Amino acid sequence: MSQTRNLRRSFAALLAGFVAVVLLSLAADALMHSTGVFPPLGQPMPDSRFFLALAYRTAIGILGGYLVAKIAPDRPMRHALLSGGIGLLISTIGVVLTWNAGPEFGPHWYPIALAATTLPTAWAGARLAGA
């Protein structure tokens, strides 16, 4: 019974972190587009704006790692790093799918940087959570 409960809480922690990161990233992107900080969707954007996006996505990634570590039933760092590993896998798929998809997907360094920050941000979030 306890093992099943812990498995559910582990899954809930990973899901909560994933949902929080995705929703906050989408909300921040939408805010940037609606306020004119970013150009309309589908239009190219200068590198400086991609640095801004990387900065807030890094902060959101740290928050996701924090959330996973706080909800995890045990071994919070392990849970956070697992979430970072899942993020790395998803981000790597994003790199491959957008590599030559056009300038609206940004410079090649941007999706690589997103992938490269997944594990460090998960680790930092878990550390902030006390793991």
pLDDT digits 0-9 by tens, 85-95: 999 999 999 99
Place of tokens 């812990």: 6
Q: In whole angstroms, what is the distance from residue 105 CA to residue 25 CA?
A: 15
- Phi/psi region, residue 29 (left: phi>0; alpha: psi -120 to 50; beta: rest), is alpha
Range of the domain at 33: 2-128
4-34, pLDDT tens digit by residue? Answer: 889 999 999 999 999 999 999 999 999 999 9
Does the pTM of the predicted model rise above 0.85? yes
Whether pLDDT at 119 is above 70 = yes
Number of domains forming the structure of the chain: 1
